[in-house]
Structure 1
Amino acid sequence: MANMREIRIRMKSIQDTMKITNAMYLISSSKLKKARKVLDDTMPYFVTLQKTIHDILLHSPDISHAYFDKRELKPKENKKKAYIVITADKGLAGGYNHNVIKLAEQEMAKSKHNILFAVGQVGRQYFQRKKEEMANDFFYTNYNPTRYRARCITETIIDGFNKGEIDEVYMVYTKMVTPMKAEAEVIQLLPLSQGEFVSMEKEEYKHFAEYSPSPQVVMNHLVPNYIKGFIYGAMVEAFSAEQHARMTAMQSATDSAKDMIRQLSLLYNRARQAAITQEINEVVSGAGSEDR
């Protein structure tokens, strides 16, 4: 059995670690509340863009637009696919990073021509070790997502799509399914499909809106903003999921530390009792010797 001094040192070390994990839990909890508020604030803008694009497609079904071009003439095996993979900048978040990276690898295995746009240092460092083809000038973090960062990412992706350097764009990120549940998910960003937009009742379109100078020109401005809104929303959701995963991991670590301290306290008390018993026996033995 370890002596009391060793047990005290071990308990002190665990208590110090528990203070850190508990502080990280509280920080992640605060960040999660802030991220959810930001997501709720941006949803009306995103939904309005969806409705507007749907309205144009509904009243101009024959509209031809580059962002809806599926490039069917190009052989499927020759299509170049881009993947925007969103991870965290650090670990200590349970299986958050692992789940996203695993899903990304599964999707990328389906195609021979891939280019990776990694958002977050964990994913970037992982795929660099795997020697995956990556956009070398694409250095973005998902810490505290901003609209500016989403716009820069959108411009990079759309520029490559318009130039024919990219045929399809996918986003791999962690989506908050419920306030207490998150799952890694892959979504196709480009080319767009009419089926992606939410179908609404005809009563909402009793008054037809006129688009000036033309629906085509309006669509040219709407689609980039729609994609930017989608990317921004995905970044905020991923950041929320990261904080939720870190909260869960830190809570689990804190609970484990408490269990270890309880076990060590029991060992300490036993060692202390054994030491006291030994001292009593020594005193009794010494007294018995003097009597003789």
Structure 2
Amino acid sequence: MANIKEIQDRMRSIQDTLKITNAMYMISTSKLKKSKKMLADTEPYFFALQSEMSRILRHLPEFEDIYFESDSAVEKKSEEKRVGYIVITADKGLAGSYNHNIMKAAYEHLQTHPNNKLFVLGELGRHYFEQQGVRIDKQFHYTVQNPSLNRARNISEELLQQYHEGKLDEIYIIYTAMVNAVAEEVEIKQLLPLKRADFAAMHIPVDAPREELALVPSAEAVMDRIVPDYLVGFVYGALVEAFSCEQNARMMAMENATNSAKDMLHELDILYNRARQAAITQEITEVIAGAKAQKRKKKR
């Protein structure tokens, strides 16, 4: 059995850790509330953009644009496609399996498209892909801990430029989405080219009356103006949701760590009491043994 001093030292160490996990839990809670508010404040605008794109496509079923998949385009083989990946990870750990899940999913998806370009957000993602020997084309620093529309716009403009120049045929974004308060899952979404089916919110009969729609100066010009803003909104939403998931994962990890620390303190408290009781018993035994020795000495 460990002595009293060893047990006390260990208890003090766990108590210090407990303060840290409690503080990290409170910080993550505050950040999670902030990120949810950020997403709620901007969602209506980008949902309205998506709705307008859906209206345009509904009225112009034969409409073709560089941003949308074309039925007449020659389908390239998977290994020939130049595919860009935006992978959103965290800058730090202590968030359970949050980073592991997204890096594993991203690495597996990268293997399906050998001709790829990787754009990483988050220090842990950079370290992981460097260790795996995967080439990183660009890393966006200081983004995941402070998602903003300006940073989302910078990311989107970088990808759009390469898409327009023909350096990329497809663009995917890989991030973590929150299913509910306790569940998260990795999402792999295709940003470009867009799919018409994603904007078909509902089935409308052919003979149903349709409102008049004026597109000035042209449908292509209107769509070319809307789509970049829509992509900015999607990237921003992914950044905020990934940030929310990271904080939620860290909250749960810190809560589990706190509970484990409390359980360890309870067990150590029992050990401490047993060791203290054993020490007291030892002292009493020694006092009694000394008293008996003195009695025997006096009798002689």
Same structural fold, with TM-score higher than 0.5 when normalized by the shorter chain: yes
Q: 1:138 to 1:23 in 2, by over 3 A?
A: closer
Separation in structure 1 between the aligned mates of residue 245 and residue 35 of structure 2, nearest angstrom: 10
Instruction: Extract unaligned runs of 5+ from structure 1.
Output: none
Which amino acid is 1:185 matched to?
E
TM-score (norm 2): 0.93
Report if the CA contact (8 A) 1:103-1:185 is conserved: no
Q: 1:277 to 1:76 in 2, by over 3 A?
A: closer
Deviates more, 1:176-185 or 1:232-241: 176-185
Q: 1:87 to 1:33 in 2, by over 3 A?
A: same
Q: 1:182 to 1:95 in 2, by over 3 A?
A: same
Separation in structure 1 between the aligned mates of residue 181 and residue 31 of structure 2, nearest angstrom: 14
Separation in structure 2 between the aligned mates of residue 136 and residue 112 of structure 1, nearest angstrom: 17
Separation in structure 1 between the aligned mates of residue 142 and residue 294 of structure 2, nearest angstrom: 81
Separation in structure 2 between the aligned mates of residue 175 and residue 82 of structure 1, nearest angstrom: 20
Which of 266, 273, 282 is residue 278 of structure 1 equivalent to?
Answer: 282
- Matched residue SS, 1:170: strand
1:29: which partner in 2?
A: 29
Q: 1:198 to 1:12 in 2, by over 3 A?
A: farther
Which of 257, 264, 274 is residue 260 of structure 1 equivalent to?
Answer: 264
Q: Deviations over 1:20-71 (max 9, x none)?
A: 0010000001110111111112211121111100111111122221011455
Which amino acid is 1:3 matched to?
N
* CA positional deviation for 1:206: 4.5
1:190: which partner in 2?
A: 192
Report if the CA contact (8 A) 1:101-1:123 is conserved: yes
Matches within 5 A, 1:71-110: 71-110=73-112
Q: Deviations over 1:95-154 (max 9, x none)?
A: 000000000011111111111100111101211222212214644531120000000000
Separation in structure 2 between the aligned mates of residue 221 and residue 161 of structure 1, nearest angstrom: 15
Q: Highest Rg: 1 or 2?
A: 2
* CA positional deviation for 1:178: 1.7
Verify: 1:230 aligned to 2:234, yes or no. Answer: yes
TM-score (norm 1): 0.95
- Matched residue SS, 1:109: helix
Which of 190, 213, 233 is residue 209 of structure 1 equivalent to?
Answer: 213
Matches within 5 A, 1:52-71: 52-69=52-69, 71=73
Separation in structure 1 between the aligned mates of residue 78 and residue 259 of structure 2, nearest angstrom: 51
Q: 1:2 to 1:205 in 2, by over 3 A?
A: farther
2:117: which partner in 1?
A: 115
Q: Deviations over 1:176-216 (max 9, x none)?
A: 11233211111111110100114246599843331211221
- Matched residue SS, 1:125: helix
Q: 1:73 to 1:186 in 2, by over 3 A?
A: closer
Which of 143, 146, 149 is residue 147 of structure 1 equivalent to?
Answer: 149
Verify: 1:3 aligned to 2:3, yes or no. Answer: yes
Separation in structure 1 between the aligned mates of residue 74 and residue 98 of structure 2, nearest angstrom: 36
What number of residue pairs does the alignment pair up?
A: 292
Which amino acid is 1:27 matched to?
I
Report if the CA contact (8 A) 1:182-1:241 is conserved: yes
Deviates more, 1:150-159 or 1:59-68: 59-68
Deviates more, 1:219-228 or 1:128-137: 128-137
RMSD: 1.7
Deviates more, 1:197-206 or 1:82-91: 197-206
